[in-house]
Chain A
Amino acid sequence: MVDVLTTVVNAVTISALYALVAIGFTLIFGVGGVLNLAHGAILTIGAFTAYYATSALGLGIWTGAAAALVVAAVFSAVLYLGMIRWVQDEPILVMILTLVTSIAIEQFFVVTVGTQSKAVPSLLPGQLTLAGISVQTNQALTFVLSWVLIGGLIVAVNYTQTGKAILATSMTKKGAALVGIESDRMYLYTWLLAGALAGVAGVFLASYRTASYTMGRGPLILSFSIVVLGGIGSIRGSVVGAYLIGFLEVFTVSYVDSSLSGLASLVVLVVVLLVRPEGLFGRELTEA
């Protein structure tokens, strides 16, 4: 039987990463009401940007991570401006378009990179010893950076003018418009933010697992469970949901069966939708 403390460390670090992915996903849904099925693929774009920056261009991994953040954010914004903006009131069309985009991105990487996984350097190599167990420095950095970004985001949303405007748009588009908030611009900001967070998450995920064209699928499916469990549109809910799902997944894989990876979170998704569809911290939509 594996040491519980080791499992807890694994769970905490992977949850920190899931939180980054899920917050972006929930921001777009909470503010714009758009279900972005290409969110996982944007994570893949971030990972391969870092891979190309380090392997083909010979840049350092930190530069690669910065490039991943920018490229993923820009791609996300272009996706919104070029495609989603025109159809955002048609939820089925949005789902189909983002799903198709996701598949197209995967196929792009199959053609350009191939089906074999690629290694991405760790942002901080080496190991730390914490409470008698050894932890990868890269994992510890993921945890710290995740909280820095989450903290920064919470502060930005609650205390800056733009953040408040985003929050207002998420509550009521009409009300926000009445006080002069341009909802389209707020949507663009959320897509930019979500893309940047997914890009960073992609680099971390690739740096300790490898980058592959399918790497975004798992986090996307987990994001559904996390966001529904935490409450759609709630950043706080996404963080709590990410940790609950992260722990559930790691403990299931460690103590039940490694082949059950991903199944536990889907069971949670179904149960929450049936029993408490608004999630832990969700709210009813204020307008239809």
Chain B
Amino acid sequence: MDRRRFLQFAGTGVATASLAGCMGGSKSKDANQQLDGPIKIGVLAPEPGNNPIGASMANSAKLAAKQLNDNGGVLGSDVNVVVKDTKEDPATGKRKYQELTVGEQVDLTTGVFTSEVQLNLMSSIAQQQTLHLNTGAASPETTRKVAENYDRFKYYFRTGPVNSHYLGQNMVDFAKANFESMGWNSVAILAEDYTWTEPISKALNGSLSEAGIDVPVNKRYAGGTENFSPIYDDVANAGVDAAYVVMAHTGTSAVVQWAKQQRPFGFGGIHVPMQLPSYYGSVNGACRYAVTQNSATPQSEITSKTVPYANAYQKANGKYPVYTGYITFDAVKMYAEAVKQAGSKESGKVIPKLENMSYTGTTAEAVEYYGRDHQYPHDVKYGKKYAWPVWLQWRETEGSGSQEVIWPDNLSTTKYQSPPWV
């Protein structure tokens, strides 16, 4: 048993250590040789059976694996995918992570939607020393850990989305470029009170005012909020042009109540449920005229890979993916490329390859990670050349909804249209 394995043995207690000891036999072989058996990828997804965010993660990892296997695998080895349900619960997520790394002995873990779940996994990732490519959770606290202790947390990368600090920066960039033409001179910021929205609130605070946009209401509302009437009364009373929102868990209640109550202001921002291509039908069209940021849409040609991936996903699953699908697909393909370059599955050899890679994915021409000396090491780079989200408005065409891109200009299919009741 090597020293690394011994330390792990000592740290995880007798029961876990026994399993780790069994693992040691196969993994401690010289990694420079051919790949030892198939590549096993563990996906941690919320409710992969019925939550579009989790389903997109699980199905995209499987699609990427199938495409790799159809092309002869990675260095001759097959890629296998194992999916576990985190149930958006930190304790469950940790248990499932242990099952994947200790029980299934996977070579890579990916997925994870909720920041609360991802943060709870960080110490386990450091302990297991198994590579993890996050494809859903946006809290920058995770990569801040890599900055604080690189050697301990270097196994952690975020392939996407951009971290919430940059999500907030992107909201400011969108506002500066578009608010004037949209007629949004004053907005009310409404952010649900979860970990992932905290850096966005910080990034927005003051930045919009500096850009000449009036922000009379800036509210972080309780995570469990179901009744938005009192909040909307406040917003309407302030006479703003729009609610600039940051929502994932509470988004559907918010947009449905906005539309049903025909509130006299526009609605847009980061709204995770609205990113789902089939969302229009599930809310009876309530998202019409609402705007959201997204990593990609099925029709947007961000790169030459975006539309073919979306179509392949649609063919395999009967529906289009949400953003976590694009990112997970890129993560698995990028990992495969790194393994090829390293000639090994061993994390220590794959990490430098990922750190130095510039990969054309479905969400960016250049998926690259920030370096060791950056504020957020191993976080996907944000910028026009790198991950640069698209903004879309839900519109109705021929009785059904469509996600029309309004920004950036090179991908836009339409201009923003104000709701008729505003």
Contacts and interface: CB of A to CB of B under 8 A. Distances in A.
Partners in one complex: yes
Given A2-B234, A138-B260, A258-B222, A116 B227 contact: no
Interface stretch (B46-54, B70-78, B130-138): B46-54
Candidate in A3, A117, A121, A127 with the most chain B CB atoms within 10 angstroms: A117
Given A209-B253, A254-B233, A115 B225 contact: no
A13 to B, nearest CB: 9
Given A116-B51, A136-B261, A210 B231 contact: no
Contact of A115 (B51, B224, B262, B281): B51
Chain A interface residue number, banded: 35 or more
A253 interface: yes
A118 B35 CA distance: 47
A76 interface: no
Contacts of A57: none
Contacts of A99: none
Given A10-B229, A115-B88, A3 B51 contact: no
Interface in B221-261: 221-222, 224-227, 229-231, 233-234, 237, 252-253, 256-257, 260-261
Contact of B256 (A114, A115, A117, A218): A117
A119 B256 contact: yes
A110 B48 CA distance: 12
Given A114-B50, A258-B222, A121 B193 contact: no
A2 B252 contact: no
A31 to B, nearest CB: 30
Interface in A1-34: 1-3, 6-7, 10, 14
Contact of A2 (B47, B230, B253): B230
Contacts of A14: 227
B382 to A, nearest CB: 27
Contacts of B257: 208-210
Chain B interface residue number, banded: 20 to 34
B230 A10 contact: yes
B357 to A, nearest CB: 34
B284 interface: yes
B88 A261 contact: no
B252 A210 contact: yes
B88 A210 contact: no
B286 interface: yes
B273 interface: yes
A129 interface: no
Interface in B102-133: none
A119 B283 contact: yes
B33 interface: no
16 contacts: A55-B281, A114-B50, A116-B282, A118-B282, A119-B252, A119-B256, A119-B283, A136-B260, A138-B260, A209-B257, A210-B257, A212-B226, A254-B233, A258-B219, A259-B221, A259-B222
Interface of B: 46-47, 49-52, 88, 193, 219, 221-222, 224-227, 229-231, 233-234, 237, 252-253, 256-257, 260-262, 273, 281-284, 286
Interface of A: 1-3, 6-7, 10, 14, 55, 110-119, 121-122, 125, 127, 136, 138, 208-210, 212, 215, 218, 250, 253-254, 258-259, 261
